[in-house]
């Protein structure tokens, strides 16, 4: 890996074994992502985009191939180390938001900071800052069921940005947003 590469994959394959056949979802994917780079993975439904994102995010492992993330060879990492990588290096924005319904918007954004053992005062300040960045400073005390789909999406984006991740993975990040808000959110990713 070169000094500015945050992610490097070489010949990544992912297969799923079915009862009497093998489904080849990813075939020989080679990918380099450098710090500050913006990358979109496009393709039709069922083409393996989410599978690739799960592998990039250390939520799944490839069947074969090599993967380095933030200078680490991912196959050599144990589950504790991978958990640390997911918390510190990767921000996730899931298509279904994955917000905790019994937690306020602020508390949802605080979650990765709690896992990172950030002190409470600093944690709350950072969560508030992230919610302000996505235009939800007036919704911090609202629960997810009190927010529109677009507002829930922005809470999920704020949560993903809370730990200043090296990589931000977003599955359809503007899918629930109107055009103006979607453009604003995409600016946050740059």
> CATH no. for residue 121?
3.40.50.300
What token pair was written down for 49? Answer: 């985009």
Q: Report pLDDT for 22.
A: 93
Domain edge (last residue) among 31, 62, 88: 88
Looking at the fold, whether 79 and 129 belong to one and the same domain comes out as no
Do 76 and 135 have their domain in common? Answer: no
What pLDDT, on the 0 to 100 scale, is given for residue 40? 86
Check whether residue 66 and residue 81 sit in a common domain: yes
Whole-number pLDDT of residue 2: 57
**What is the percentage of the chain residues whose pLDDT exceeds 70?**
97
Instruction: Look at the chain and report how many structural domains it folds into.
Output: 2
Checking if the pLDDT of 146 tops 80, the result is yes
Whether residue 51 contacts residue 33, with contact meaning beta carbons closer than 8 Å, is answered with: no
Q: Rounded distance, CA 56 to CA 146, Å?
A: 32
Q: Where does a domain end: 60, 88, 116?
A: 88
Q: Using CA atoms, how far apart are residues 84 and 90, in angstroms rounded to an integer? A: 10
Question: Which residue pairs, CB below 8 angstroms and at least 24 apart, start in 87-90?
Answer: 87/112, 87/115, 87/116, 87/163, 88/116, 88/163, 88/165, 89/165, 89/166, 89/167, 90/56, 90/57, 90/58, 90/165, 90/166, 90/167, 90/168, 90/169
Structural domain boundaries enclosing 105: 93-189
Residue where a domain stops, chosen among 47, 65, 88: 88
Q: Say if residue 190's pLDDT is above 80.
A: no
Q: Are residues 185 and 120 in the same domain?
A: yes
């Amino acid at each position: 890996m070169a000094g500015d590469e945050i992610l490097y994959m070489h010949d990544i394959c992912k297969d799923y074994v079915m009862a009497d056949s093998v489904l080849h979802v990813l075939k020989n994917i080679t990918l380099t992502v450098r710090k500050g780079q913006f990358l979109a993975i496009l393709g039709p439904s069922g083409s393996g985009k989410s599978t690739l994102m799960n592998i990039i995010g250390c939520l799944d492992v490839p069947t074969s191939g090599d993967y380095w993330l933030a200078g680490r060879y991912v196959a050599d990492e144990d589950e504790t180390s991978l958990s640390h990588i997911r918390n510190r290096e990767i921000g996730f924005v899931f298509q279904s938001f994955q917000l905790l319904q019994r937690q306020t918007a602020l508390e949802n954004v605080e979650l990765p900071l709690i896992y990172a053992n950030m002190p409470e005062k600093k944690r709350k300040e950072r969560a508030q800052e992230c919610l302000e960045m996505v235009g939800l400073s007036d919704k911090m005390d609202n629960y997810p069921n009190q927010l529109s789909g677009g507002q829930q999406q922005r809470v999920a984006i704020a949560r993903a940005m809370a730990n200043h991740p090296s990589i931000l993975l977003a599955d359809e990040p503007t899918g629930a947003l109107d055009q103006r808000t979607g453009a604003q959110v995409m600016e946050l990713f740059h």
